[in-house]
Amino acid sequence: MIPQRLVLRDFLSYQTLDLDLAGIRAACIWGANGAGKSSLLEAMIWSLWGKSRAVSEEDLIRTGALEAQVRFRFAVGEVSYQVCRTRSRGGGSTVEFQVVVDDRLQSLTGRGLRATQQLIIDRLKLDYDTFLNSAYLRQGRADEFMLRRPAERKQILAEILGLNECDRLAEKARDVARRCKGEIQALERQQSILQKQQQELGDIPAQIAAVTEEWQALQTAAGGDRQHLQALIQRQHQRQQLQQAQEWCRQHLATLTQTLQQTAQQQEQLATQMGEWAEILTRAGAIRAAADRHR
């Protein structure tokens, strides 16, 4: 963590302060007792972890002020962050956490003070106790680490050396290994299924060749069937024509038969009339002689 800028408002003895720390690799803070040297470090610590040497957070508010605020910008690796922590007299504390992207601030603030604080610790990879026992030695508390219980010293050393991070990465690696093992087993099962299917299918190229040959034979047979079908269709057409001609002849024969019957009837009628006329002609002489006698 590299400090870049510290802005104070009504924090301890400072009414306002804007301290640019960008580009400073090493710094020495000096001054008379009570000048506020330690307050600068306390401001950074309080902004990051919300903890300080004060008994109460309200003791951090400058006398006569209603609110104290610290804005602290710092870098972790190549990424810059800014945290702004505020404490109101008689009220509560608020904290905002942001990341600097293209010289603009983007919020990382979580839901609630505790969630945001955990986000800050995650970015720093350093909690308050580890910081006090490693990077920061308070005046009169240089033996802070040695006063800890053995278990606490072990935990602090683990945090400083990053052993907890190693444990976390190791657990993550084990999770990845378990997941990969499961995926490998699934792939092996899938491979076994595919091999079994391949055996069941047999020689695919030979089957394709056989099916192709059969299809060609069917195509050849279908060609002959089409010719035979065309011949049948033509014969059917001729049959229909013959049936139509036969029907016409039948109807014409019926008409001729009816005409012949009518002609025969007419001949009979004419024969009857001719007989009557012949009889009349036979009797014509007698009829004339009788007529002459009566004159």
Q: What is the pLDDT of residue 227?
A: 85
83 pLDDT higher than 60? yes
Tell which wins on pLDDT, 295 or 273: 273
Put simply, whether the predicted model's pTM sits higher than 0.75 gets the answer no
Residue 89 has which token pair? 């007299």
Q: What is the arithmetic mean of pLDDT over 29-52?
A: 90
Q: What is the pLDDT of residue 142?
A: 45
Q: Which of 15-29, 37-51, 242-256 has the lowest mean pLDDT?
A: 242-256
* pLDDT level of residue 27 (50, 70, 90 thresholds): confident
* Across 108-122, 136-150, 249-263, least confident range: 136-150
Residue 67 confidence (pLDDT):
96
Q: What span, in angstroms and rounded, lies between the C-alpha atoms of 186 and 184?
A: 5
122 pLDDT exceeds 60?
yes
- The pLDDT of residue 143: 52
| Complete edge-to-edge strand list for the sheet that includes strand 79-88 | 14-20, 2-11, 67-76, 79-88, 93-101, 104-107
pLDDT band at 2 (very low <50, low <70, confident <90, very high): very high
pLDDT at 219 exceeding the cut of 50: yes
SS (H, E, C) the chain: CEEEEEEEEEECCEEEEEEECCCCCCCCCCCCCCCCHHHHHHHHHHHHHCCCCCCCHHHHECCCCCEEEEEEEEEECCEEEEEEEEEECCCCEEEEEEEEECCEEEECCCCCHHHHHHHHHHHHCCCHHHHHCCCCCCCCCCCCCCCCCHHHHHHHHHHHHCHHHHHHHHHHHHHHHHHHHHHHHHHHHHHHHHHHHHHHHCCHHHHHHHHHHHHHHHHHHHHHHHHHHHHHHHHHHHHHHHHHHHHHHHHHHHHHHHHHHHHHHHHHHHHHHHHHHHHHHHCHHHHHHHHHHCC
- The pLDDT of residue 48 is above 50: yes
pLDDT at residue 253 in the model: 85
Q: Residue 250: pLDDT band by 50, 70, 90 thresholds?
A: confident
Confidence band of 139 (pLDDT split at 50, 70, 90): low
* Per-domain residue ranges of the chain: 2-125, 204-244
Instruction: Supply the pLDDT for residue 157.
Output: 59
Mean pLDDT of the chain: 85
Res 11: pLDDT: 96
Rank 10-24, 221-235, 246-260 by mean pLDDT and report only the highest: 10-24
Average pLDDT (7-20) is 96
The DSSP bridge partners found for residue 295 are: none
For the domain spanning 2-125, the CATH number is 3.40.50.300
Lowest mean pLDDT among 26-35, 66-75, 113-122: 26-35
More confident residue, 149 or 194: 194
pLDDT at 138 over 60: no
Token readout for 269 is 């009628």
pLDDT(239) > 50: yes
